[in-house]
Structure 1
């Protein structure tokens, strides 16, 4: 019975830590760029687009496809940075816990 109460206490503690982790992740911002900085995108920890900056030199009618590709590349760069920050925060929180390999957290 003592072990069960201990496990319940640990579970509540982990739940509180994960709630805190989610709050921290929401405050993360990461910027990505493409085209040597001609296009810059900033995303939140929830992958919301916070800002988009496009160098005026890209505003030419015949370069629309290039601009679209650069925007996508900058977005993907920022997204990968947010994901890396999330993984690092999760790794810090779960350090020392016996979590099976491949299990993604937070749930």
Structure 2
């Protein structure tokens, strides 16, 4: 007698896991090309971030550059970048949830 817990269902589950893994890998590649935009200071500072959490672009309007108030510009840049990164993370989470059915898989 051979002990085979799960048998065919275990094999099926492994195949499904492999399919999910392949879809996640494909999505991760696609996310590099997806871009979110964020801004601060009423649009004075604008940023673009991709789905791999990479800052792609920063635009600063001339009006935002005040040599007497560099701290304000720094704050606007931080706010825009942080908002961009947050939006990119949310985009990735939403897309991953579509694949994983809402399971929280560590490292993704």
TM-score norm. by structure 1 comes to 0.84
Gaps of 5+ in 2: 1-6
Which of 74, 81, 95 does residue 75 from structure 1 map onto? 81
Larger radius of gyration: 2
Instruction: Report what 1:57 is aligned to.
Output: 63
- In structure 1, list runs of 5 or more residues that go unmatched: none
- 1:6-21 to structure 2, matched below 5 A, reads 6-21=12-27
**C-alpha distance in 2, partners of 1:64/1:18?**
42
Cα separation, 2, equivalents of 1:68 and 1:30: 21
- Indicate the residue corresponding to 1:38 in structure 2: 44
Tell me how many residue pairs correspond in the alignment: 102
How far does residue 58 in structure 1 lie from its aligned partner after superposition?
2.1
Contact (CA 8 Å) 1:40, 1:74: kept in 2 or not? Answer: yes
Structure number having the greater helix percentage? 1
TM-score (norm 2): 0.84
